[in-house]
Amino acid sequence: MPEMNDDQLRILFREAGPAQAPAGLRPAVMARLREVESLAPTAPLLNGRQWTLAICVLIGVVALASLLGSPNEHWLVPSFPITIGPWIAGTLAAHPWIPAASCLVFLWVLWEHRTFRHHAA
Amino acid sequence: MEHADLIRTIVAGNSGAYSQLVDRYQHMVFTVCLRILRNAEDAEEAAQDCFVKAYRNLAGYGGASKFSTWLYSIAYRTAVSSLRKRRPATDPLEELGWCPATEDMRPTADHAAPYLEQALKQLPPIDSLVLTLHYLDELKVEEIATVTGLGVSNVKVKLHRGRKRLADILDKAMNGQARNLLLNDA
């Protein structure tokens, strides 16, 4: 059975050489690395305990809003679903800081998500 | 700069130095990806992914194996992963319009090298990769096993089988001219 001569085969492979990588490979890699570095990991703003505190604050805000109620006639016992809409609208209109605080917490959550994602990457 | 120094420099934060590593290994990493994917465009993308992954994990390279072995194993896994995801490929030999040599274009045995690339494409991807790593980059059987995740005995079988098939293909392509140069009668 014929077998290939190892030395000749080595010479043959060396003559042929490796496949030539495209000229743009190195610049493309370095560009991708710059992109990776621009999304470098950053420390999360909140640790676990602070997260718990933030959730408690959010629950507190909602509870407080419920207690304060709205000036319209539906605020005491909203009967879902007929009067729940006006009740919420009335409450939010009377206390604009509630949606503002909620938006702030929401933005905070988004920021946390982003930093955690990069941290994991 | 030596590998270890270069890696220390990069890990310390000089990411620009990484371009030197890319320069040194881009052709072999591209070759590893090309052997598996058999498509230059896909191989380039896989090679890019490989270098980005290697950069991210460079701090974890402990030096237990050669850097090339570590890097090629990332290239191999990236290419295999890309192969699983990609669309069904057309026959690369058809794309390249390869056909065996005719009497008119019969080459001399000294010019077998141009036929090698085409012959390797007729082997199973893993066999052509094993042959390339062994004969071109002179990786030992154990190192090839590390790169591919195959067992040592499996690598030996693939080397043996690949050599024989390569000999047959080259000899056929060169109308018997490869036999005298490359074959030993066992």
pLDDT in tens, A15-62: 889 999 999 999 999 999 888 776 554 555 666 777 888 788 777 777
Task: Give the distance from residue B181's alpha carbon to the nearest chain A alpha carbon, in angstroms.
Answer: 7
Alpha-carbon distance of B95 to B38, in angstroms, equals 11
- Residue B95 corresponds to which tokens in the numbers above? 């794309």
Cβ-contact A72, A92 below 8 angstroms: no
Instruction: Give the closest residue to B168 by CA, choosing from B176, B159, B158.
Output: B176
- Partner-chain contact A12 B182, CB within 8 Å: yes
Task: Give the distance from residue A38's alpha carbon to the nearest chain B alpha carbon, in angstroms.
Answer: 12
- Residue B143 corresponds to which tokens in the numbers above? 């190192």
Instruction: Give the closest residue to B102 by CA, choosing from B174, B178, B168.
Output: B174
- Chain A residues with beta carbon closer than 8 angstroms to that of B185: 2-3
- Residue A55 corresponds to which tokens in the numbers above? 């959730």
Task: Give the distance from residue A25's alpha carbon to the nearest chain B alpha carbon, in angstroms.
Answer: 7
pLDDT in tens, A62-106: 777 666 655 555 555 555 555 666 777 777 777 788 778 878 887
Give the mean model confidence (pLDDT) for residues B93-102.
40
With tokens 């030096």, the residue in question is: B63
With 0-12 CB in 10 A as exposed, 13-18 as middle and 19+ as buried, what is A63?
exposed
pLDDT at residue A70, rounded to an integer: 54
Q: Residue B97 pLDDT more than 50? A: no
pLDDT at residue B3, rounded to an integer: 80
ipTM exceeding cut-off 0.85 for this assembly? no
Q: Residue B110 pLDDT more than 60? A: no
Name the residue with higher pLDDT: B91 or B66. B66
Instruction: Give the closest residue to B115 by CA, choosing from B186, B183, B39, B168.
Output: B168
pLDDT at residue A81, rounded to an integer: 52
What type of residue is B34?
L
Give the mean model confidence (pLDDT) for residues B69-86.
93
- Partner-chain contact A5 B44, CB within 8 Å: no
- Residue in chain B closest to A27 (alpha carbons) equals B19
Q: Residue B91 pLDDT more than 50? A: no
Alpha-carbon distance of A21 to A52, in angstroms, equals 52
Give the CA count within 13 Å in the CB-facing half-sphere of B24.
15
Residue in B15, B45, B135 to test binding to A, most A beta-carbons within 10 Å: B135
- Partner-chain contact B182 A9, CB within 8 Å: yes
pLDDT in tens, B12-50: 888 888 999 999 999 999 999 999 999 999 999 999 999
pLDDT in tens, B118-144: 889 899 999 999 999 999 999 999 999
- Partner-chain contact A36 B112, CB within 8 Å: no
Q: Residue B148 pLDDT more than 90? A: yes
Structure confidence at residue B183 as a pLDDT band (50, 70, 90): low
A 12-31 → B contacts, CB under 8 A: 12-22, 24-26, 28-30
CA of B153: how far to CAs of B17, B29, B75, B139, B150, in Å? 38, 24, 22, 15, 8
What type of residue is B172?
K
